[in-house]
Amino acid sequence: MTPEAGNGEDPPVDDSDDRVIDLSSYLKRKEEESSRTRTTFSFWGGEGERTRFALPLWRAAYLASGRRAALLWEPATSVAGADEAHPLVVLDLGEEPARVDFDARCLAGLGGVDAPGTVIASGEILGVYLGEKGERKWYLLVDDLDTPDSDISGRARDDLLFLAGECAGLLFHRGLDEEGGEG
């Protein structure tokens, strides 16, 4: 462009050139994705047949954008949140060794649920009630979510329920619920 006639100043520069591609948003997104890269894969309680839970727990954590997924139980006679939540298996994508301590309040939102397949999202926790057998109530829990209070819906919710069903099948039909530790 040429200086405007008469005043000797350069005209304003037009930054919107169709031949220039702005990569800043792409680079920022890539940087955010790389900062969330998970390099830890700790699996606690996965001896013998329980190794079968590793894949559905990993997929559940991925779907919910969580860093820890577990199968937990509580006594069937307990008031939700009153007793300790007992882990059967834990997949931790955030720390090594796997974090196996669960605050009893993590199951509080699932307390009144009596229909298997019920999904509850509360804070940094996403839980699915799997059912009751014997003296125990069973749950699939994903926590340490990237986006607290996020709601899982649509295809992701359907996939999560499928994974919960897979875990329930392994628990109840293969008798893995009987290996749940001390009751």
pLDDT tens digits, residue range 10-20?
655 555 556 66
Amino acid at the residue 37: T
Query: pTM higher than 0.85 for the full model?
Result: no
Given a cut of 70, is residue 35 above it in pLDDT?
A: no
The per-residue pLDDT for range 43-87, each reduced to its tens digit, is 999 999 999 999 999 999 999 999 999 999 988 886 655 567 899
The whole-angstrom separation of Cα 88 and Cα 106 is 15
- Helices in 45-153 by DSSP H: which ranges? 54-64
**Partners of 159 in the beta sheet?**
none
> What topology does CATH give the domain 40-179?
Beta-Lactamase (3.30.450)
The whole-angstrom separation of Cα 142 and Cα 124 is 8
Residues ≥6 apart with Cβ < 8 Å to 167: 53, 56, 57, 71, 130, 140
Given a cut of 90, is residue 97 above it in pLDDT?
A: yes
How confident is residue 114, by pLDDT bands cut at 50, 70 and 90? confident
Residue in this structure with the two tokens 């994508």, named with its chain if needed: 93
Cβ neighbour number for residue 96 with a 10 Å cutoff: 11
The whole-angstrom separation of Cα 52 and Cα 133 is 20
The widest CA-to-CA distance across the chain, in whole angstroms, is 93
